[in-house]
Amino acid sequence: MSLFEKFELLSQSRKALGNHGPPPVATPFDSVNSPTRGVVGGREVLLAGTNNYLGLTFHPEVVTEAKAALDTLGSGTTGSRMANGSYVPHQQLEQELAAAFEWPSAMVFSTGYQANVGVMSSIVGTGETLLIDADSHASIYDGCRMSKAQTLTFRHNDPENLDRKLARLGEEAKKTLVVVEGLYSMLGDQPPLQEFVDVKNKHGAWLLVDEAHSFGVFGEKGLGLTESCGLLDEVDFIVGTFSKSLAGIGGFCVSPHPELDLLRLASRPYIFTASPSPAVIAGTRAALRLVVDGQALRAQLHRNIDRLYSGIRALGYELGSPTPGPVAAIILPDRESALGHWQALFNEGIYANLMIPPATPNGLCLLRLSLSAAHTDQDIDLIVEALGRVQGTHQQAIQA
């Protein structure tokens, strides 16, 4: 017997992806030269699968401030926020996040994953309920597992199903935290947020919106779907990450409730994890300013979104979301087709994401594209033209 026997199915799945050329999962990058260009396996590729929505990873202000912090504050804090890891810039970033939302409270975590786990595992406990969208991110599910609360799910993007679940809870609904995402990272679809707010208010429940993939993308100040829907006064918590539009690594929670600050004394992922490095915090502060003032960047991103969605639809592909967004997920019939599309697109010089079970909802096989404000019209056209050639080659192979 071996402790590794339980991973045999995963091993077989990895082998099924083949071993010719760069692996399509956990693809190693030789270099990343700009927000839209990199080198994989010695080949220069157009990056269309990086979640770098506003293209800020190489922005001069972000890079300059990160370098300055590295020189003045060192490479790392070597401690948690509860010990020696709370530097003044960490507190300044929290104040700047709270100010952007015009709310009193914000907390910074070491990763976006930990932000969800850290908030959900501590804010809801024994005798209370977490009620989450069935297609929620793994970090949300893991936050539920760490919490001592009852965990229930409702059907994906289904306010009526949420309404029925809350009704069954009766008075317990007032001690229930509903969790949805502003944009779902696999299919790129968005929730009917106003309807969820109406249901939440009807039952007196609480609402957390995970804006990891929607922060920076939607809203006048880029605060996410909640802002763009005019619902900032209707939610209780917003969680986000630094690793998408903010071009760094880390996470945050903001809230109109000043009591959020008490989580610093209760959230184990916050208490027992080393805090983000000074360079990351400095770069994120610069990126946050660019996001809040980034109306032109968002306009360019949405022009790219419309151009890509139009091109993909003209080719006849099925997309995961009817509403255009920064993630375009092409639904393919099976694993072999998805892998073939990924490899063929890579051979065309374009890096995308291969998404297959168990990482995907409902066992779907996807070719996932994510866009950036840094992409040009020519970049979008290259992607669409390459997909057209890949589609033709794939259909010929099936007919043969």
Burial of residue 361 (CB within 10 Å: 0-12, 13-18, 19+) is middle
In this structure, the answer to whether residues 158 and 251 fall within a common structural domain is yes
User: pLDDT at position 22, please?
Assistant: 86
The percent of residues in the chain predicted with pLDDT above 70, rounded, is: 98
User: pLDDT at position 70, please?
Assistant: 97
User: pLDDT at position 16, please?
Assistant: 75
User: Average pLDDT for residues 269-297, to the nearest whole number?
Assistant: 97
User: pLDDT at position 17, please?
Assistant: 76
Q: Is 178 within 8 Å of 200 (Cβ atoms)? A: yes
Structural domain containing residue 305: 13-47+294-399
Report cis status (omega within 30 of 0) of the bond before 358: yes
Tell me what the pLDDT averaged over the chain comes to: 95
Query: What is the secondary structure of 206-222 as a DSSP string?
Result: EEEEE-TTTTTTSSTTS
User: pLDDT at position 10, please?
Assistant: 80
User: Average pLDDT for residues 152-172, to the nearest whole number?
Assistant: 98
pLDDT 10s digits, 167-193:
999 999 999 999 999 999 999 999 999
- Where residue 149 falls among pLDDT bands split at 50, 70, 90? very high
In this structure, the answer to whether residues 327 and 214 fall within a common structural domain is no
Count: domains in the chain = 2
In this structure, the answer to whether residues 183 and 64 fall within a common structural domain is yes
Residue 136 has pLDDT above 60, yes or no: yes
Domain CATH code at residue 237: 3.40.640.10
User: pLDDT at position 396, please?
Assistant: 52
Q: Is residue 3 in a domain?
A: no
The H-or-E segment that residue 124 falls in is none
In this structure, the answer to whether residues 288 and 308 fall within a common structural domain is no
- According to DSSP, the residues that pair with 331 across neighbouring strands are 318, 366
User: pLDDT at position 256, please?
Assistant: 98
In this structure, the answer to whether residues 129 and 170 fall within a common structural domain is yes
Domain CATH code at residue 365: 3.90.1150.10
In this structure, the answer to whether residues 238 and 384 fall within a common structural domain is no
User: pLDDT at position 351, please?
Assistant: 97
